[in-house]
Chains A and B, each alone.
Chain A
Amino acid sequence: MPTVSMTVNGKSVSGEVEARTLLVQFLRENLNLTGTHVGCDTSQCGACVVHVNGDSMKSCTMLAVQANGADVTTIEGLAKGGEMHPMQQAFQDNHGLQCGFCTPGMVMSAIDLVAKNPNPDEATIRSELEGNICRCTGYHNIVKAVQQAAKTMGG
Chain B
Amino acid sequence: MYNFNFHAASSLDDAVAKLGAAEDGTVMAGGQTLIPVLKQRLANPTDVVDLSGIAELSGISASGNGVTIGAMTTHAAVANSSDVPAALRAVAEGIGDPQVRNRGTLGGSIANNDPAADYPAALLGLGATITTNQREIAADDFFTGLFETALTDGEIIKSVTFPNATKAAYAKFPSPASRYAMVGVFVAQAADGVRVAVTGATDCAHRGPKLEAALSANWSPDALDGITIPPDHLNSDIHGSAEYRANLVIVMAKRAVAAAG
Residues of A with Cβ closer than 8 Å to B? 2, 18-20, 22, 41-44, 46, 49, 55-58, 61-63, 65-66, 68, 109, 112-113, 128, 130-132
Within 8 A of A (CB), among B1-18: 1-6, 8
B31 in contact with A62 (CB, 8 Å): yes
B108 in the interface (beta carbon within 8 A): no
B36 in contact with A43 (CB, 8 Å): yes
Shortest CB-to-CB span from A3 to chain B, Å, is 12
Once A19-B3, A55-B76, A68-B8 are accepted as A-B contacts, the answer to whether A128 and B32 lie under 8 Å apart by CB is: no
Once A19-B3, A19-B48, A20-B1 are accepted as A-B contacts, the answer to whether A131 and B35 lie under 8 Å apart by CB is: no
B31 in contact with A61 (CB, 8 Å): yes
Can you add 10 more A-B contacts, CB < 8 Å, to A19-B4, A130-B96, A130-B98?
A: A20-B4, A20-B38, A43-B35, A43-B99, A57-B102, A58-B99, A68-B8, A113-B98, A130-B97, A131-B100
Name B's interface SS.
mixed
A19 to B34: give the CA distance in the assembly, Å: 14
A132 to B97: give the CA distance in the assembly, Å: 9
A18 in contact with B3 (CB, 8 Å): yes
B100 in contact with A42 (CB, 8 Å): no
Once A57-B103, A66-B50 are accepted as A-B contacts, the answer to whether A131 and B98 lie under 8 Å apart by CB is: yes
| CB-defined contacts of B32 to chain A, threshold 8 Å | 43, 61
Q: Would you give the 0/1 interface string for B69-100, flagging 1 where the beta carbon is closer than 8 Å to chain A? A: 00000001000000000000000000011111
Chain A residue nearest to B179 (CB atoms) is: A130
| CB-defined contacts of B178 to chain A, threshold 8 Å | 44
Within 8 A of A (CB), among B211-255: none
Chain B residue nearest to A41 (CB atoms) is: B39
B100 in contact with A56 (CB, 8 Å): no
| CB-defined contacts of A19 to chain B, threshold 8 Å | 3-6, 48
The contact sample of 20 A-B pairs, CB cut-off 8 A, is A20-B3, A20-B4, A22-B35, A42-B36, A42-B39, A43-B36, A44-B178, A46-B97, A46-B99, A56-B98, A57-B99, A57-B103, A58-B103, A61-B31, A61-B35, A65-B6, A68-B8, A130-B96, A130-B98, A131-B100
| CB-defined contacts of A66 to chain B, threshold 8 Å | 28, 31, 50, 52
Chain B residue nearest to A59 (CB atoms) is: B99
User: For chain B, which range describes its interface: under 10, 10 to 19, 20 to 34, or 35 or more residues?
Assistant: 20 to 34
| CB-defined contacts of A18 to chain B, threshold 8 Å | 3
Once A130-B97, A130-B98, A131-B98 are accepted as A-B contacts, the answer to whether A2 and B103 lie under 8 Å apart by CB is: no
Shortest CB-to-CB span from B230 to chain A, Å, is 34
A130 to B8: give the CA distance in the assembly, Å: 31
* 6 closest Cβ pairs, A-B complex: A131-B97, A19-B6, A130-B97, A55-B102, A20-B1, A131-B99
| CB-defined contacts of A41 to chain B, threshold 8 Å | 39
Return the contact of A20 from the options B2, B50, B99, B103 (Cβ within 8 A). B2
| CB-defined contacts of B48 to chain A, threshold 8 Å | 19
A131 to B104: give the CA distance in the assembly, Å: 14
| CB-defined contacts of A65 to chain B, threshold 8 Å | 6, 8, 50
| CB-defined contacts of A109 to chain B, threshold 8 Å | 98-99
| CB-defined contacts of A112 to chain B, threshold 8 Å | 98
Chain B residue nearest to A112 (CB atoms) is: B98
Chain A residue nearest to B4 (CB atoms) is: A19
Chain B residue nearest to A68 (CB atoms) is: B8
| CB-defined contacts of A43 to chain B, threshold 8 Å | 32, 35-36, 99-100
A37 to B148: give the CA distance in the assembly, Å: 35
A141 to B52: give the CA distance in the assembly, Å: 38
A2 to B220: give the CA distance in the assembly, Å: 58
| CB-defined contacts of B100 to chain A, threshold 8 Å | 43, 58, 131
Shortest CB-to-CB span from B109 to chain A, Å, is 15
Chain A residue nearest to B177 (CB atoms) is: A44
| CB-defined contacts of A42 to chain B, threshold 8 Å | 36, 39
Interface centre among B4, B5, B32, B35 (most CB of A within 10 A): B35
